[in-house]
Amino acid sequence: MPSFFGTIRLVLALAFSFTAIAAQSVPSPLAHHAAPNFSRQDVSNKKTIRLADFQGKVVLLNFWATWCAPCLTEMPAFSEWQKQYGSRTFQVIGVSMDDESTDVVPTIDRMKLNYPILMGDEHLGAAYGGIMGLPVTFLIDRQGRVQARYENVDLVRMKRDLKRLLGLR
């Protein structure tokens, strides 16, 4: 039986290892399975966004919120990637987990986002394995399969994985 201090050391070691993993790609029950399809209006109610419409493209699906500072930190990179890799082969889709779109539209305008944003909810979050914290980002391959799930900000790893899926070096 471990001593009290041995148990404390084990708990601390586990806590630090989970902290180190949090910023990396994490296993997802959806890995290498079809991404759950959805059909939702964008926040402006002008266009219907269907995941199935992006079959044949690599999709970066980002769950975020206006109150989430790390979310706002990574979004300019997503806009840059959308511009850099183009909409023929790649598409970013943002899913706001805010309660009201009235909070979201000013953020989209201020950040000059160049990709569609739709409103998420607990049902869409549950379909993607549960969104317990933000940001959470998925990379979906051209065949519509989830290839990676990222929790927290890890732009270097995301870009590397994105370029691999796009067939770039």
User: Domain residue spans in the chain?
Assistant: 4-166
Contacts of 133 (CB under 8 A, 6+ apart): 151, 152
Planar angle of CA 76, 79, 81, nearest 5 degrees? 110
14 contact partners, CB below 8 Å, separation of at least 6? none
**Which pair of structure tokens corresponds to residue 41?**
């209006």
Arithmetic mean of pLDDT over the chain: 86
* Confidence (pLDDT) at 14: 35
Euclidean distance between CA atoms 66 and 68, whole angstroms: 6
Question: Omega of the bond prior to 135 within 30 degrees of 0, cis?
Answer: yes
The full length of the chain comes to 169
* Three-state secondary structure call for residue 62: strand
**Residue 87: which residues within 8 A CB-CB, separation 6 or more?**
57
> In a 10 Å sphere around its CB, with 0-12 CB exposed, 13-18 middle and 19+ buried, how is residue 43 labelled?
buried
Give the residue carrying structure tokens 């997503």.
Answer: 78
The mean pLDDT of 157-164, rounded to a whole number, is 97
Dist CA 64 CA 75 (whole Å) = 9
pLDDT tens figures, 72-127: 999 999 999 999 998 789 999 999 999 999 989 999 999 999 999 999 999 999 99
Which is the CATH superfamily of the domain at 4-166?
Glutaredoxin (3.40.30.10)
Q: What is the pLDDT of residues 7-21, one digit of tens each?
A: 333 333 333 333 333
